[in-house]
């Protein structure tokens, strides 16, 4: 891989100089080669490494993080999958919980951690008896353990809109609720 490709897959390396990054790679993977020879090989390496497999592996690892309740790490790996392969098709809705009559899915493409303690995501609640569903955009205040619905749309089993709703006030998160599952996934890891 080129250094640019390594940096796109691992954005946390962006603050490390090329020289330090190359030296770290050399020490880890091929310490028997001199620093100069190792660096010279990377200077010659200008053709990007094309590998569709890496994106799929990041996507799968993102799914594993999501299943374990660590939505932030899942979002990082989903973003890495897209950076590695712009054609990678990230599935949108991922099951996070279910009850006897409802399945809850988060939208992996809208997990947003960019505003500090206020995080947001979209949730789909599928009512299995009727096949109707709701989609809600939630914001969660991690510091005060509160949640609010920013917008909501209800659909019938045919996918037609039956109701829409606007922003609601902040509410405390109830124990053993879908709100607590979302709070734990978005804020606790």
pTM of the model: 0.72
- Is residue 22 within 8 Å of 45, Cβ to Cβ? no
Q: What is the 3-state secondary structure (H, E, C) of 15-35?
A: CCCHHHHHHHHHHHHCCCCCH
Helices 178-187 and 71-84, packing angle to 10 deg: 60
Whether 93 shows a pLDDT value over 70: the answer reads: yes
Phi, psi angle pair for 67, to nearest 5°: -65, -30
pLDDT score recorded for residue 4: 78
Query: pLDDT tens digit string along 49-90?
Result: 655 577 888 889 999 999 999 999 999 999 888 876 677 778
Tell me the domains of the chain and their CATH numbers: 3-44 (no CATH), 92-187 (2.40.128.710)
Task: Indicate the average pLDDT of the chain.
Answer: 90
CA 28, 32, 34 angle in degrees (round to 5)?
A: 95
Over residues 11-21, the pLDDT tens digits come to 788 889 999 99
Q: What is the distance between the alpha carbons of residues 85 and 17, in angstroms, rounded to a whole number? A: 24
Half-sphere exposure of 167 (CA within 13 A, CB side): 5
């Amino acid at each position: 891989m080129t250094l640019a490709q390594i940096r796109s897959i691992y954005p946390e390396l962006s603050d490390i100089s090329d020289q330090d990054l190359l030296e770290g790679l050399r020490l880890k993977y091929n310490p028997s080669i001199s620093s100069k020879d190792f660096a010279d090989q990377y200077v010659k390496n200008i053709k990007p490494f094309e590998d569709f497999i890496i994106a799929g592996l990041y996507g799968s690892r993102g799914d594993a993080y999501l299943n374990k309740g660590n939505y932030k790490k899942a979002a990082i790996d989903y973003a890495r999958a897209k950076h590695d392969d712009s054609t990678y098709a990230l599935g949108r809705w991922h099951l996070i919980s279910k009850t006897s009559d409802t399945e809850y899915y988060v939208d992996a493409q809208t997990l947003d951690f960019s505003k500090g303690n206020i995080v947001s995501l979209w949730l789909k609640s599928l009512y299995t008896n009727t096949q109707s569903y709701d989609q809600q955009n939630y914001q969660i205040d991690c510091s005060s353990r509160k949640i609010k619905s920013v917008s909501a749309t209800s659909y019938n089993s045919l996918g037609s809109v039956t109701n829409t709703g606007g922003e609601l006030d902040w509410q405390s998160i109830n124990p053993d609720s879908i709100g607590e599952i979302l709070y734990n996934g978005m804020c606790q890891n």
